[in-house]
Amino acid sequence: MQIVGAIWIGFMLDNKYIASRRTRGVVSVAAVAIIVIAGWIGITVWLYNNPMDPLNPPLFDWTDGPFGGFFVLNLIFGINSVIYQVTVQWVISSFTNDPEKLARLAGLVKGVLAGGVAAAFGTEAAGLTQLNVVAYNFSVQAVGLVLTAVIASTCVTATNYMKEENVIPPSDAQTSGDLEKSDSQS
């Protein structure tokens, strides 16, 4: 499902039918938010109907009732993990074309994402109920989505070419002024 999610979100973020890079970013963040929210609502309902104790996990197999919902939720969260990360990385990478800056930003993004995963494991270790763990994790991801949407709608520009001294634009690159005009018109 991660492959499917990566292909789908890549199509959304690089869609040639949406001329404005900012619009592609905002539309993609909105699409990711729908899938993320659906997944968290689904896991909340599933856990409410099938309470789990992490120290004494239920033993069920694919022929038992709860398995179908659990399986679908695993697929949704497989998509969730990749589309969320790719979208955040795309938005952050729109800030610069300078390889040095991009490397630093990519490291920052991966560090923050890893910190979020570590905190999620910490909620499990703290002995919270599964529904409280879900509430915490959804809250963290929701805040991240809101921040990503704000950044995509305010900071993503048509291009960074011609704005950075250390970046050599491709020969067919338009000037940033031309692209900003076309970006504001779409």
Instruction: Tell me whether residue 176 is in a domain.
Output: no
pLDDT in tens, 129-160: 889 999 999 999 999 999 999 999 998 877 66
Q: Do 140 and 116 meet the contact criterion of CB atoms below 8 Å apart?
A: yes
Number of domains in the chain: 1
Instruction: Tell me whether residue 95 is in a domain.
Output: yes
User: What's the CA gap between 68 and 99, in Å, rounded?
Assistant: 45
Residue 177 has pLDDT above 80, yes or no: no
What region, left, alpha or beta, does residue 169 occupy, with left being phi > 0 and alpha being psi -120 to 50 degrees?
beta
Instruction: Tell me whether residue 66 is in a domain.
Output: yes
Instruction: Tell me whether residue 34 is in a domain.
Output: yes
Q: Output the pTM of the full model.
A: 0.81
Instruction: Tell me whether residue 60 is in a domain.
Output: yes
